[in-house]
Amino acid sequence: MPSDVTEADREATAALILKLRSKGIGSQKVLSALERVPRRLFLSAPLQRHAYEDSALPIECGQTISQPTIVAMMTEALDVAPEHRVLEIGTGSGYQAAILGHLSRDVRTIERYKTLADLARARLSTLKIDTVHVHHGDGTEGLAEKAPFDRIIVTAATPELPQALIDQLADGGKLVAPRGPAGDVQSLVVIERKGATTVSRDLAQVRFVPLVEGVANRL
């Protein structure tokens, strides 16, 4: 572990893992990945004392870091294997990407805010996670030049998923995303592509910030 990670981080992370187990997260590989990523390092200094609470917290650019239970649930539903090519829409703090980086050898993550993209890149470097590549761009367009992807995760909500993301999902692939209106309860859905068709199932009710087109005008 990097020197930035303290014994207190390790103890608090271990306690968080126990809490996630009690909430029904059963995948050992997901829990192991979460255990290797200290959430404190993805928050600004004033909020670090809340890092290991099971709650969403504000981050830069008016965005949020999801609560650990939701991160674990989405990661478990994604069912990532080392050989899977993974695309994340909405890098945010980089916390979810860091966890995915311990599960896959090739993770691409897109963030519309340059400030967030730069911060996430620095945090991933600090943790020596070199399996994640951060892109500053429009997440609604996906990353066609690297498609298809075996797994796609969207960390912002939209009433309808952009067709570009469906098109970039490999046959047999899975996509996990919150679907619904901004500012209201949304459904966390798992979509599986089977040839030219997709099959969808609801996983839970959630609240996420909205998925916005374009690259942000402000940093």
Distance CA 55, CA 109 (A): 23
Supply the pTM of this predicted model.
Answer: 0.95
Q: Give 3's pLDDT tier (boundaries 50, 70, 90).
A: low
The token pair at 80 is 């990532």
**Catalytic residue list contains 66:** yes
Residue 5 has pLDDT above 90, yes or no: no
Superfamily of domain 7-206: Vaccinia Virus protein VP39 (3.40.50.150)
Mean pLDDT of the chain: 95
Among 29-38, 124-133, 138-147, 208-217, which stretch is predicted with the lowest mean pLDDT? 208-217
The one catalytic residue in 66, 125, 187, 200 is 66
Cα–Cα nearest to 152, from 171, 129, 169: 169
pLDDT digits (tens, 9 = 90+) for 103-162: 999 999 999 999 999 999 999 999 999 999 999 999 999 999 999 999 999 999 999 999
Backbone angles phi, psi at 155, to 5 degrees: -110, 30
Please provide the DSSP assignment of 96-126 as one string.
Answer: HHHHHHTT-SEEEEEES-HHHHHHHHHHHHH
CA-derived radius of gyration, the chain: 16
Q: Give 1's pLDDT tier (boundaries 50, 70, 90).
A: low
pLDDT score at 2: 58
Per-residue burial over 68-94, b if 16 or more Cβ lie within 10 Å, else e, is: bbbbbbbbbbbbbeeebbbbbbbbbbb
Distance CA 177, CA 127 (A): 26
pLDDT score at 218: 64
